[in-house]
């Protein structure tokens, strides 16, 4: 009962607190219509945010994105709208709160999903935390982007790379996230490779220290010059050329790198040939041993 009285006293105190224009207050959504959003402010009067004061994002749809029970922070723009309501602006509150949140996102390298709204010279526009954000064409994707119009309406995972509240400048990068996700996916594929497995690939580049072989699925492995042939060679070009199809054995997949060996396959093939030769000799020897002088004489009819 004591706890209930304390709660009641707290609510009573809040209901009689003084709310003034410019105050930043928090409320719970109780209703959403096409014209406005009504908030419970724990006050004797409800708060109302007109649709036009909700977001700077032209495609923001209150009925789709807000529901009863959601908590919103807004700025008081009028203590009585003529109907006994406290008129609020989420836009103004956003101008106060969003920049700090965006700065925090940049510092923590938070990955967000945004939808591209329009194309502008040298890039595209999206909205994050209700703030207009610019993504340069070179930062939209890990791949080269020629037609920015083709990206309108698409969702992009991005990071905040520039936050300047004074200049109202917000810049995002999808390229950084795309590259990171590609690298993670590639490392996962590499981790699934089994050392000792034989793979087939194409020599894509030759270096003084070895050759890089594309084994498919976006993965290339290095055949060190010492692992190219059983014969000692002074240049990779003595054995390999770019575009050549080769087979190799996976040695290891340490630190996201694939090490291959063509020499190991030669060793295996040579060993197999030696074993076949030994088996052939043994078979031949058994045949000879089984054909004795007695066997030959027994077949002669006198």
pLDDT in tens, 36-56: 999 999 888 899 999 989 888
Q: What is the pLDDT of residue 178?
A: 94
Among 127-141, 152-166, 286-300, whose mean pLDDT is lowest? 286-300
Contact 158, 179 (CB under 8 A): no
Residue with tokens 């030669």: 266
Say if residue 73 is exposed, middle or buried (CB neighbours under 10 Å; 0-12, 13-18, 19+).
Answer: middle
Q: How far apart are CA 92 and CA 85, in angstroms?
A: 18
Mean pLDDT of 175-200: 92
Residue environment code for 26-46, b if the CB has 16+ CB neighbours within 10 A, otherwise e: ebebeebeeebbbbebebeeb
Mean pLDDT of 124-150: 93
Q: Is the pLDDT of residue 57 over 90?
A: no
By three-state DSSP, how is residue 195 classified? coil
Among 25-29, 60-64, 126-130, 231-235, whose mean pLDDT is lowest? 60-64
Percentage of residues of the chain with pLDDT beyond 90: 56
Contact 205, 177 (CB under 8 A): no
Q: What is the pLDDT of residue 271?
A: 57
- The pLDDT confidence band at residue 16, using thresholds 50, 70 and 90, is low
Contact 49, 62 (CB under 8 A): no
Q: When comparing pLDDT for 95 and 141, which is higher?
A: 141
User: Mind listing the pLDDT tens digit for each residue in 71-128?
Assistant: 998 999 988 888 888 999 988 888 778 898 999 999 999 999 999 999 999 999 999 9
Mean pLDDT, the chain, whole residue set = 85
- The pLDDT confidence band at residue 4, using thresholds 50, 70 and 90, is low
DSSP assignment letter at 109: T
Q: Give the HSE-up count for residue 134: Cα atoms under 13 Å, Cβ half-sphere.
A: 14
By three-state DSSP, how is residue 175 classified? helix
User: Mind listing the pLDDT tens digit for each residue in 213-268?
Assistant: 999 988 999 999 999 998 889 999 999 999 999 999 999 998 889 999 999 887 66
Q: How far apart are CA 261 and CA 190, in angstroms?
A: 16
Q: What is the pLDDT of residue 296?
A: 47
Q: Is the pLDDT of residue 19 over 90?
A: no
User: Mind listing the pLDDT tens digit for each residue in 144-157?
Assistant: 999 999 999 999 99
Q: What is the pLDDT of residue 1?
A: 45
Residue with tokens 């009585």: 80
pTM above threshold 0.75 = no
Q: What is the pLDDT of residue 12?
A: 47
Q: Is the pLDDT of residue 278 over 90?
A: no
* CB-based contacts of 247, cutoff 8 Å, min separation 6: 198, 199, 200, 262, 265
Q: What is the pLDDT of residue 135?
A: 97
Percentage of residues of the chain with pLDDT beyond 70: 82
Query: First and final CA of the chain: distance in angstroms?
Result: 128
């Amino acid at each position: 009962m004591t706890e209930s009285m304390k709660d009641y006293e707290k609510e009573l105190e809040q209901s009689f607190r003084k709310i003034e224009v410019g105050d930043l207050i928090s409320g719970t959504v109780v209703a959403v219509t096409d014209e406005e959003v009504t908030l419970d402010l724990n006050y004797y009067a409800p708060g109302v945010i007109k649709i036009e004061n909700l977001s700077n994002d032209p495609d923001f749809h209150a009925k789709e994105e807000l529901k009863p029970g959601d908590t919103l922070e807004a700025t008081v723009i009028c203590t009585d709208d003529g109907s006994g309501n406290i008129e609020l602006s989420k836009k103004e509150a956003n101008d106060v709160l969003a920049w700090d949140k965006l700065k925090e996102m940049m510092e923590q390298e938070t990955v967000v999903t945004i939808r591209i709204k329009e194309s502008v010279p040298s890039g595209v526009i999206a909205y994050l935390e209700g703030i207009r954000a610019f993504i340069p064409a070179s930062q939209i994707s890990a791949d080269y982007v020629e037609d920015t119009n083709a990206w309108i309406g698409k969702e992009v995972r991005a990071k905040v790379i520039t936050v300047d509240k004074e200049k109202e400048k917000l810049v995002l990068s999808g390229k950084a996230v795309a590259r990171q996700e590609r690298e993670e996916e590639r490392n996962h594929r590499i981790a699934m490779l089994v050392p000792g497995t034989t793979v087939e690939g194409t020599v894509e580049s030759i270096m003084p220290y070895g050759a890089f072989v594309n084994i498919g699925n976006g993965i290339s492995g290095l055949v060190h010059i010492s692992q190219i042939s059983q014969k000692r060679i002074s240049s990779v070009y003595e054995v390999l050329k770019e575009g050549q199809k080769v087979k190799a054995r996976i040695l290891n997949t340490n630190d996201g790198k694939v090490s291959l060996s063509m020499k190991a396959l030669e060793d295996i093939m040579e060993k197999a040939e030696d074993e076949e030769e030994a088996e052939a000799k043994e078979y031949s020897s058994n045949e000879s041993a089984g054909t004795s002088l007695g066997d030959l004489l027994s077949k002669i009819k006198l």
